[in-house]
Amino acid sequence: MLNLSWKVFSMTGSIDTYLLLKELERESDETSELEGKEPIETMDAPTH
């Protein structure tokens, strides 16, 4: 889901999609902490 959100954001520049991506990342980090796993790496913006 993170990859899809990032791809849509990078193609459209939609702020709503970016905010969704950040919310999903935050939820993933919180879930990982509860389960004792490493959080998912945050994607960097592509450089063109």
The predicted-structure confidence for 1-48, as pLDDT tens digits, reads as follows 778 888 888 899 999 988 988 998 899 888 877 766 555 565 565 655
Q: For residue 46, what pLDDT is reported?
A: 61
Give the per-residue pLDDT at 41: 61
Q: Is the overall model pTM greater than 0.75, yes or no? A: no
> For residue 21, what are the contacts with CB-CB under 8 A and spacing of at least 6?
2, 5, 6, 9, 43
The per-residue pLDDT for 32 is 75
The whole-number pLDDT of residue 15 equals 92
pLDDT value for 38: 57
CA dist 29 and 23 (Å) reads 10
The shares of helix, strand and coil residues in the chain, as percent rounded to the nearest 5, are: 65, 0, 35
> Residue 37 corresponds to which amino acid?
K
